[in-house]
Homo-oligomer: A and B are copies of this chain.
């Protein structure tokens, strides 16, 4: 038998891809640069992915799925829908603090025209949003005429957009503190109440 596949190489390719996409966008993350950063041969990733597009897409799928799973866990644990939304937003901040790249990776690719969230994930997100509305309305925590888009936008898009504004220092302020986080939570929740 031949030697075993070195899993650390794959992990390194993943990490390098993530970092380079975040830093330079999809176009700026070329195979040769990814391979160099991962200390791996240029053609190596083609043993696992049929193309650069597939590599990045599968990575995106995974990161989004992590969020979906987290969100579903919250919904199982809490009947208080405001708590669920708060936990989700704080999770986004938390990821941005600890593994900053992951949240920016999603942010970059979600707005890139080479990509789109898979239909199944989009459907999952839609269903979750509808469940949020149903539960929130039932126990009187949310407005009755909420749309899927409003929940999605204020639960995910707004916080991610805020985080990126702060990471880029768009209005001169970099980073955030506990008060900022709570302010975002309240802002998003209020808009849905």
A residues adjacent to B (C-beta < 8 A) = 23-28, 107-108, 111-114, 116, 122, 126, 147-150, 152-153, 157-158, 161-162, 165, 168, 170-172, 183, 187, 190-191
Contacts and interface: CB of A to CB of B under 8 A. Distances in A.
Contacts of A108: 111, 113
| Interface of chain A: mostly helix, strand, loop or mixed | helix
A77 to B, nearest CB: 26
| Across the A-B interface, the 5 shortest Cβ-Cβ residue pairs | A111-B111, A27-B27, A25-B113, A191-B191, A148-B171
Contact of A24 (B113, B150, B157, B158): B113
Nearest to A165: B149
Nearest to A111: B111
Given A25-B112, A108-B113, A122-B171, 12 more contacts: A24-B113, A25-B114, A27-B114, A108-B111, A111-B111, A122-B170, A126-B172, A149-B171, A152-B171, A153-B158, A153-B161, A190-B191
A170 B111 CA distance: 13
Nearest to A25: B113
